[in-house]
């Protein structure tokens, strides 16, 4: 890495800690509602950018363009599915979740909301959800550690993988521990801007300076990858002629958004429900521009450096290679910081949501019901550290078991979407929906997703789709078979559904 490139890159992390330290010492995190939800005081711009930055990890800058470069334009359907899912989530669910979570006992976590929504005295659903959260998010954070380490070692070849992972983990844990939700949201706001600028910069400079032969794309490209295998990449087939598996799998990804805890929790944090409309517009524009730019990076890289990257299996470094080719070191350092921003903005959100679920859904209800706010706040901070340590152990292990766990990270999106997506939607739109239906939807959705992955993954159908459908059907059947909700539950639905409710 060039000297000036390294300086710009390091300055990015200095800013992160400055923000976290400011929030720690200004006394803004007085209780768990402040620490885990920002006191429901976030503005529309911060809410929108934070939600999208926490959604799009380093996959946006490395995985998606690398996949398109290596396997063809059919992979763009994943981006289309994510854009449609993002828009649907903001339009259909964001405002309703903000209103319903406020009316339902001022809930600060998803499991807490689902329990309070039905005025249940049982902790069954809350405990089931919290356990799923802790397991899935710990593995998710481990994945982020691996991704962050990969970026560090690519940018700083002299640093060992273990040292890079320790440094990355300390950065994330440090400012999440100190700053809480507000610090995470504000840093995610700027990281979201950085990611967008970085993604747009490369296509703009390529279009402005290069005279490319687009006809070269209209062919089937064959190359030998790093393992010596021959790979056929069909660039000639466009979006409309992509395989049905690419189209169905890509669009199915969008279903996951309705049940993604680290994203939808942002909806709960905004100051007023009326602000959601502006947030939705900002978020949808951001995701369309970012995903479109990521696809363009791969499109141009196919004509400029496909052979040099694919022949050594380095397709995931396409963004890094393009940034360094077209920009001087000082600017490329800024652009490369965007990759770290993507990894950090997802990992910090997942750490915080997992910690909040432990303290609010397990520690206080089951371990110490009378715990004071200050105690719960510090238990949450300690939980951040413990979850990070477990995630670090998973990420740094070289055993086959650890690798098997890491492989499951790719399916965590499906589990969250199948387990919580149908239940969240029904809780917003169906007045008759019951607690029994919610429990059945979560359990069946998660179970079918996992079983499909284990035994039917060879069908080529992404397990999220059958899991989502099964969870929805189970929720409806269980609701109709159970006793209708009481007056208090119906009152929650009616109050949250009022058009003039804006608290």
> Per-residue DSSP letters for 222-291?
EEE-TTS-EEEEE-SS-STTS-HHHHHHHHHHGGGGGG-HHHHHHHHHBS-GGGHHHHHHHHHHHHHHHH
On whether residue 424 sits in a domain, the answer given is no
**Distance spanning both ends of the chain, measured CA to CA:** 50
Higher pLDDT residue, 476 or 335? 476
Task: Output the pLDDT for position 403.
Answer: 47
What SS3 class is residue 220? strand
On whether residue 496 sits in a domain, the answer given is no
The 10s digit of each residue's pLDDT in 401-443 is 444 444 556 678 888 999 999 999 999 999 999 999 999 999 9
On whether residue 208 sits in a domain, the answer given is yes
**Whether pLDDT at 290 is above 90:** yes
CA distances from 253 to 103, 413, 465 (A): 30, 8, 9
Closest CA to 98 of 305, 273, 349: 273
On whether residue 491 sits in a domain, the answer given is no
CA 210/CA 206 separation, integer angstroms: 5
Task: Output the pLDDT for position 443.
Answer: 95
Rounded to two decimals, the pTM is 0.86
Task: Output the pLDDT for position 401.
Answer: 46
Q: What average pLDDT does this structure show over 469-479?
A: 97
The structural domain count of the chain equals 1
The 10s digit of each residue's pLDDT in 72-108 is 777 888 889 999 999 999 999 999 999 999 999 888 8
Q: What is the CATH number of the domain that holds 13?
A: 1.20.1730
On whether residue 502 sits in a domain, the answer given is no
- The answer to which of 121-135, 138-152, 295-309 has the lowest mean pLDDT is 138-152
On whether residue 302 sits in a domain, the answer given is yes
Q: What average pLDDT does this structure show over 13-31?
A: 68
On whether residue 449 sits in a domain, the answer given is no
On whether residue 355 sits in a domain, the answer given is yes
Residue 424 corresponds to which tokens in the numbers above?
Answer: 């969240």
The 10s digit of each residue's pLDDT in 328-381 is 887 888 787 887 777 777 777 788 888 888 887 788 777 877 877 778 878 888
Q: What average pLDDT does this structure show over 243-264?
A: 84
Domain that holds residue 149: 3-407
């Amino acid at each position: 890495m060039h000297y000036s490139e390294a300086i710009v890159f390091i300055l990015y992390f200095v800013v992160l800690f400055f923000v976290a330290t400011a929030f720690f010492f200004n006394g803004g995190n007085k209780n768990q509602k402040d620490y885990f939800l920002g006191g429901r005081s976030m503005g529309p711009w911060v809410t929108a950018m934070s939600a999208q930055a926490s959604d799009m990890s380093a996959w946006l800058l490395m995985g998606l363009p690398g996949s398109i470069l290596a396997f063809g334009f059919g992979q763009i359907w994943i981006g289309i599915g994510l854009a449609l899912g993002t828009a649907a989530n903001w339009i259909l669910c964001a405002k309703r979740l903000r209103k319903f979570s406020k009316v339902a006992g001022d809930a600060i976590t998803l499991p807490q909301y689902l329990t309070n929504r039905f005025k249940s005295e049982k902790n069954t659903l809350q405990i089931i959800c919290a356990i799923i959260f802790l397991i899935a998010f710990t593995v998710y954070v481990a994945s982020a550690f691996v991704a962050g380490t990969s970026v560090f070692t690519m940018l700083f070849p002299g640093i060992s993988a273990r040292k890079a992972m320790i440094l990355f983990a300390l950065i994330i844990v440090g400012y999440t521990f100190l700053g809480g939700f507000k610090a995470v949201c504000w840093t995610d706001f700027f990281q979201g801007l950085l990611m967008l600028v970085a993604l747009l910069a490369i296509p703009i400079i390529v279009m402005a300076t290069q005279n490319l032969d687009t006809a070269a794309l209209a062919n089937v490209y064959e190359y030998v990858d790093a393992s010596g295998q021959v790979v056929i990449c069909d660039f000639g087939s466009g979006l409309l002629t992509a395989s049905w598996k690419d189209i169905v799998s890509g669009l199915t990804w969008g279903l996951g958004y309705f049940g993604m805890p680290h994203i939808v929790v942002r909806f709960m944090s905004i100051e007023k429900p009326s602000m959601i409309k502006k947030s939705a517009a900002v978020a949808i524009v951001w995701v369309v521009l970012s995903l479109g730019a990521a696809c363009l990076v791969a499109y141009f890289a196919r004509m400029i450096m496909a052979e040099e990257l694919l022949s050594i299996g380095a397709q995931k470094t396409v963004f890094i290679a393009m940034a360094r080719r077209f920009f001087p070191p000082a600017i490329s350092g800024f652009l490369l910081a965007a990759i770290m921003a993507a990894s950090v903005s997802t990992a910090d959100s997942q750490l915080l949501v997992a910690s909040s679920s432990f303290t609010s859904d397990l520690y206080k209800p089951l371990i110490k019901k009378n715990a004071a706010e200050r105690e719960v706040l510090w238990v949450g901070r300690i939980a951040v550290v413990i979850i990070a340590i477990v995630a670090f152990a998973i990420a740094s292990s070289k055993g086959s078991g650890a690798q098997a766990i890491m492989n499951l990270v790719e399916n965590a999106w499906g589990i969250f979407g199948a387990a919580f997506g149908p239940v969240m939607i029904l809780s917003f739109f169906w007045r008759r929906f019951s607690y029994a239906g919610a429990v059945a939807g979560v359990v069946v959705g998660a179970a079918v997703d996992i079983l499909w992955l284990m035994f039917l993954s060879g069908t080529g159908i992404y397990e999220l789709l059958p899991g989502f459908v099964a969870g929805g059907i189970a929720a409806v059947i269980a609701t109709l078979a159970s006793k209708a909700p009481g007056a208090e539950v119906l009152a929650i639905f009616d109050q949250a559904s009022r058009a003039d409710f804006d608290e």
